[in-house]
Each structure stands twice: as C-alpha cells, then as structure tokens.
C-alpha cells in the first residue's frame, strides 16, 4: 500500500492510497480513515454507488462519524470504471468484474489489517448501497466468516448477475447480522426485486428498513441508524 497523502483534523487521520493487486495490471485507489491517536477498535469497508467515488460526501460523513464517535476505522475504494479507475471500455457490471472487485476488497482488507493502527484482530464490517451492494454482497458472502455485520440495500434481484446475487444471498451464514435498506419509490430497482433480495438473504439475523422516496432520497437519519448498527455489532 502506497500512501499518497495524509490529512489529520478533528481526531481523524485520512490517508489516500494506491494498492497493487495480483490479479490485474492496475492499482486500486482508496482512502483509509483512522483515529488520529490510538488503535482502531474495528474497521468498516464502505462501497459507493454508481456514478460516485471513494470520497463522495455521504461516505466521508459516515467514515468520519465511525472514527470520531466509535473509534472504528473506515476504508473506501473506487469501484470499477469510477473515480480514479475510469477507463474507456465502461464495463462494470458482470460476474468477472464482480469477482475482480471481491479480490480487490480482500487485498485492501489484508493491507489495512497489516497496519499497526488497525491490526488483524479487530472486528470487520461492510457498508454499501446500490452498486455498493452489487459488489458488496458477493464480498460479504466470500468473507462472511471474518465479518461481524453488514449493511446492504438499494438493490434487487435483477440485471445480468441476478442468479449470482441470489446464490450469494442464500449462502450467507445464519447468524450474520445484516441491515437491509430499501426505498419504496426506487426508480432504479423495483421494490419487489428489492424485497426478493432481502427474502433471499440466508441469515436469520436480518432486518429491513423501508423509507418512502426515490433511489437517492435515503433520509439522513437512516445513515445514522446504519452507523449505529455497525458500531453495535462490531463493538459488542
């Protein structure tokens, strides 16, 4: 992991990094947020939505709150064809891309765990809406034995990887705490498809939060509830 720059303010250290991964010829750009003093009590990986990037305002807010209020580190990376990883082909939603992104997240997690400010023994969580669930659910399935909780949502059983996501959902371990968020008037993912994905989640420890409004109209307090959910399970 190559640290490109470091900023510390109000108790939070933010480091922009590049990480070379062994499955591709390009690097993974990301940001790591840690407590300015002391060791983190946990770490949450945050996946962004379509058309956004690792430093999108709601990700910055969530990451900083996790650090300041709970002592939990956070990290986010640019998804395929987003942020510093935009290329000419524009292909981002397919099984091969999902598999590559799961590998990216795994490599990033291992690099973070090697950082003495975090370590390999702290609990791990995942947070991701929309595209953050498209890539995040397969990652959660792949790494579920190491995760303490996950927040997913704003996505349904649809699109080119519908069968893949249904299989990943069903394969979740029965005691993995998952908070799933849907918007009743989502114009990108049909409400019924979202419910179908929630129903498919194999864990018995799942809960559904439903809000009125369109895809991007998630209430501010919902973000706060997801933060509290992760902190509760990571710090239990």
Q: Which CATH number belongs to the domain containing residue 42 in this structure?
A: 3.40.50.1820
Which pTM was predicted? Answer: 0.96
pLDDT of 56 reads 96
- Full pLDDT tens readout for the chain, 236 residues: 899 999 999 999 999 999 988 655 668 999 999 999 999 999 999 999 999 999 999 999 999 999 999 999 999 999 998 988 876 566 788 999 999 999 999 999 999 999 999 999 999 999 999 999 999 999 999 999 999 999 999 999 999 999 999 999 999 999 999 999 999 999 999 999 999 999 999 999 999 999 999 999 999 999 999 999 999 999 98
Structure tokens given for 136: 């995040």
pLDDT of 85 reads 85
Q: Which domain holds residue 13?
A: 2-234
| H or E stretch covering 126 | strand 124-129
Place of tokens 């992760």: 230
pLDDT of 71 reads 98
* Helices 131-143 and 95-113, packing angle to 10 deg: 60
- Counted domains in the chain: 1
10 Å CB burial of residue 158 (0-12, 13-18, 19+) is middle
pLDDT of 231 reads 98
pLDDT of 23 reads 55
Count of CB atoms situated within 10 Å of the CB of 212: 9
């Amino acid at each position: 992991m190559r640290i490109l720059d470091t900023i510390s303010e109000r108790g939070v250290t933010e480091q922009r990094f590049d990480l070379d991964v062994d499955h591709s010829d390009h690097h993974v750009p990301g940001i790591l947020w840690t407590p300015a003093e002391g060791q983190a009590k946990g770490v949450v990986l945050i996946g962004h939505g379509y058309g956004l990037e690792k430093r999108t305002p709601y990700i910055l807010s969530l990451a900083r709150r996790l650090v300041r209020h709970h002592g939990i580190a956070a990290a986010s990376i640019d998804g395929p064809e987003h942020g510093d990883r935009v290329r000419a082909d524009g292909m981002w939603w397919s099984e091969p891309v999902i598999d590559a992104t799961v590998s990216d997240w795994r490599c990033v997690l291992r690099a973070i765990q090697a950082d003495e400010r975090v370590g390999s023994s702290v609990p791990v969580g995942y947070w991701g809406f929309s595209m953050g669930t498209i890539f995040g659910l397969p990652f959660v399935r792949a790494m579920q034995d190491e995760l303490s909780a996950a927040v997913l949502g704003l996505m349904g059983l649809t699109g080119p990887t519908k069968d893949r996501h249904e299989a990943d959902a069903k394969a979740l371990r029965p005691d993995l705490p998952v908070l799933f968020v849907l918007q009743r008037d989502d114009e990108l993912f049909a409400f019924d498809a979202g419910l179908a994905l929630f129903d498919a989640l194999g864990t018995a420890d799942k809960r559904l939060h439903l809000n009125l409004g369109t895809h991007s109209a998630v209430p501010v307090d919902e973000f706060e509830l997801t933060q509290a959910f992760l902190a509760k399970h990571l710090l239990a």
